């Protein structure tokens, strides 16, 4: 399959340099292309890409279009069968990118496939999740009754890490997308200013009859930092809640929750 790896960067020069250097070391198929969308960083990121990584297709934007807008630009400037969204703060372990892509051949109904994400210390990062409801939104932040149980359900802590599973959604830090499963020319809904772009993508793909898969055999390290958890009330938390409201209205509140379901090849 032909593949595009899309990395959107805004003032992440050091992380971007590490990410691209690590991708080179993987010796990925020559037919794959990597696109870096620079969101008008102004920190030398774009110049670094040109100088150190001429194999990368660089797209410079004259304003910061954010996560969704940046990836939408890369999506519009590519036509590959598989489109991979990759954060600059993700380190791909050897063989994991190929494993992620091969999953689409094994599972023809897969629209989105997410890898097993690990914290820098090697511990599991819960990147496959169930959809939010109002209880989840409150329990993720407040001492809500039954908070531990609600969060464990949301984070799919009952997930079998030994085989590919059908899940509700996977974290947008690293995910692969089958282009033919996308309805329209735009990948992400830019009405979400922070968070829920990945939830929205997975929800509406599922609604059209596609599967969202978690592939634990593909492993990547994610230097994840939850901005919304740094204090009780902050801008990230407010944006998270606003995005949830937008998603709730868009989906008309008809969001069920999946069980952990192994899928057969």
Mean pLDDT: which of 147-151, 229-233, 256-260 is highest? 147-151
To the nearest 10°, report the CA torsion of 202, 88, 215, 93. 170
Name the region of 63 (left: φ>0; alpha: ψ -120 to 50; beta: rest): beta
Q: Let me know the angle formed at the C-alpha of 129 by 128 and 135, rounded to the nearest 5 degrees.
A: 165
- Average pLDDT over all residues of the chain: 88
What tens digit of pLDDT does each residue of 32-74 get? 999 999 999 999 999 999 999 999 999 999 999 999 999 999 9
pTM of the predicted structure, to 2 decimals = 0.89
Q: 233 is in which domain, residue-wise?
A: 3-262
Cα–Cα distance, 86 to 18 (Å, whole number): 13
Cα(first)–Cα(last) distance of the chain, in Å? 18
Q: Quote the pLDDT of residue 142.
A: 60
Concatenating the DSSP letter of every residue in 24-89 gives HHTT--TT-EEEEEE-S--SSHHHHHHHH-TTSEEEE-SS--HHHHHHHHHHHT---SEEEEE-TT
pLDDT average, residue stretch 10-33: 96
Name residue 90's beta-bridge partners: 222
Cα–Cα distance, 20 to 18 (Å, whole number): 6
pLDDT at 230 over 70: no
Which two three-digit tokens encode residue 258?
Answer: 């999946």
Residue 180 confidence class, pLDDT cut points 50, 70, 90: very high
CATH number (domain holding residue 8): 3.90.550.10
Q: Quote the pLDDT of residue 146.
A: 66
pLDDT at 225 over 90: no
Number of domains in the chain: 1
Query: What DSSP character marks residue 252?
Result: T
């Amino acid at each position: 399959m032909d593949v595009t790896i899309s990395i959107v960067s805004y003032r992440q020069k050091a992380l971007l340099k590490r990410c691209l250097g690590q991708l080179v070391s993987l010796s990925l198929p020559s037919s794959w292309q990597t696109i870096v969308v620079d969101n008008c960083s102004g920190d030398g990121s774009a110049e670094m890409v040109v100088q150190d990584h001429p194999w990368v297709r660089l797209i410079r934007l004259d304003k910061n279009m954010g996560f969704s807008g940046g990836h939408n630009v890369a999506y519009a400037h590519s036509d590959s069968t598989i489109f991979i969204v990759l954060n600059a703060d993700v380190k791909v372990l050897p063989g994991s990118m190929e494993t992620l892509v091969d999953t689409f051949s094994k599972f023809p109904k897969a629209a989105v496939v997410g890898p097993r994400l690990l914290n820098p210390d090697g511990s599991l990062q819960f990147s496959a999740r169930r959809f939010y409801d109002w209880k989840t939104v409150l329990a993720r932040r407040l001492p809500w009754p039954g908070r531990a149980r609600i969060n464990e359900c949301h984070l799919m802590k009952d997930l079998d890490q030994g085989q590919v599973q059908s899940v509700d959604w996977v974290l947008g830090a690293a995910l692969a997308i089958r282009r033919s499963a996308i309805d329209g020319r735009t990948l992400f809904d830019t009405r979400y200013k922070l968070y829920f772009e990945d939830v929205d993508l997975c929800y509406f793909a599922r609604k059209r009859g596609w599967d969202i898969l978690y592939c634990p055999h593909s492993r990547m390290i994610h230097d994840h930092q939850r901005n919304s958890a740094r204090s009780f009330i902050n801008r990230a938390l407010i944006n998270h809640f606003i995005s949830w409201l937008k998603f709730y209205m868009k989906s008309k509140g008809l969001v069920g929750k999946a069980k952990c379901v192994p899928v057969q090849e």
